Amino acid sequence: MSIENPVIRKVFDDLDKFRDFCRFEAKPFDEADMYNNEAPVWVAYQKHQGWLRAKARAGANYDPNRRSRRPNPRFENNNAQRG
């Protein structure tokens, strides 16, 4: 049996995602923390969701070990200045 009401379905989908986050990240799971912006577990979950969105936005260019490739003007001509 599937849930027809989209609002109720979203709540249960969010509950499943939150429970999975708590399970995989070894966080204490409490349904009362869901949608509570003062609960540290919910704040950590929101940050994790933001990280997943940023990772998806980067797409194939995502590399967690890559540093910025923009040149830093403070360090460009260090060898020439030492002379």
SS3 of 41-81 = HHHHHHHHHHHHHHHHHHHHHCCCCCCCCCCCHHHCCHHHH
Position 57 scores a pLDDT of: 81
Is residue 80's pLDDT more than 60? no
Does this model's pTM top 0.75? no
Whether 1 shows a pLDDT value over 80: the answer reads: no
pLDDT interval class at 41 (50, 70, 90):
very high
Check whether 59 has a pLDDT greater than 90.
no
List the Cα angle 76/70/49 in 5-degree steps: 145
Return the domain boundaries, the chain: 1-58
Give CA 62 to chain center in angstroms.
Answer: 13
Average pLDDT value for the chain: 83
pLDDT in tens, 12-25: 999 999 999 999 99
